[in-house]
């Protein structure tokens, strides 16, 4: 399930960042690494990943500021936080900012990370394919009640068949 997924890791601890990156590359992911929130935003602006994995305690721009920026600029990009700060205030703030999951360091088992990532990606893929998809609501693609031009219908069908392209279009 992780094969071919693009993941951005924003983590200031090089040992932990390298461990997570190596594991994800072993799972077939394309990984981009950033050591702080500012570098993470630059990486996001260069290429939009399928998922962002971020720490909360980092220099220059802390993780909560980074997550807030991501939620404003890239609302379709899911974020997983892995942090040594497991205080309820941080967890609540992160979740309120749209974080999909929150894991506490140290991870007891790397399988926790894999499971969390797979769950987030599965949920996001389900959202893209669900009947509540925006194209079905706005353009009523499923019914023939409203006539659509052939070109518009072709574009909508293409976006429905290629959720990655739809995400890139929305992010652009």
Task: Output the domain CATH number for residue 107.
Answer: 3.40.50.2300
If asked whether residues 114 and 147 sit together in one domain, one would say no
Q: What is the pLDDT at residue 21?
A: 97
Q: Identify the pLDDT of residue 128.
A: 52
Alpha-carbon gap, residue 12 to 69, rounded angstroms: 18
Radius of gyration of the chain (CA): 18
Please provide residue 82's backbone torsions phi and psi, each rounded to the nearest 5 degrees. Answer: -125, 115
pLDDT on residue 4: 94
Pair 49, 7: CB distance under 8 Å:
yes
First to last CA, the chain: 26
Residues 46 and 120 in one domain: yes
Statement to judge: residues 73 and 155 lie in one domain: no
Instruction: Kindly report the average pLDDT of the chain as a whole number.
Output: 84
Same domain for 110 and 162? no
Looking at the fold, whether 28 and 104 belong to one and the same domain comes out as yes
Q: Do 87 and 119 sit in the same domain of this protein?
A: yes
Quote the domain boundaries for residue 164: 134-171
Cβ–Cβ under 8 Å, residues 79 and 50: no
- Could you give the number of structural domains in the chain? 2
Could you say which residues of the chain have pLDDT below 70? 86, 127-149, 171-172
Residues 96 and 34 in one domain: yes
pLDDT (tens digit, 9 = 90+) per residue, 27-51?
Answer: 999 999 999 999 999 999 999 999 9
pTM for the full model? 0.73
């Amino acid at each position: 399930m992780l094969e071919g997924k693009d993941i951005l890791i924003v983590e200031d601890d090089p040992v932990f960042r390298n461990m997570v990156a190596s594991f994800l590359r072993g799972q077939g992911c394309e990984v981009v690494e950033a050591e702080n929130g500012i570098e993470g935003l630059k990486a996001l602006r260069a290429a939009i990943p399928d998922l962002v994995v971020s720490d909360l305690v980092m220099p220059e721009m802390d993780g909560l500021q980074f997550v807030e920026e991501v939620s404003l600029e890239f609302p379709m990009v899911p974020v997983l936080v892995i942090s040594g700060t497991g205080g309820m205030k941080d967890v609540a703030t992160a979740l309120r900012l749209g974080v999909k999951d929150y894991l506490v360091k140290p991870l007891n088992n790397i399988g926790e990370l894999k499971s969390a990532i797979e769950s987030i990606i599965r949920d996001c893929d389900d959202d893209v394919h669900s009947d509540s998809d925006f194209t079905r609501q706005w353009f009523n693609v499923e019914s023939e009640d409203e006539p659509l031009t052939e070109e518009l219908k072709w574009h909508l069908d293409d976006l429905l068949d290629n959720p990655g392209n739809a995400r890139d279009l929305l992010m652009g």
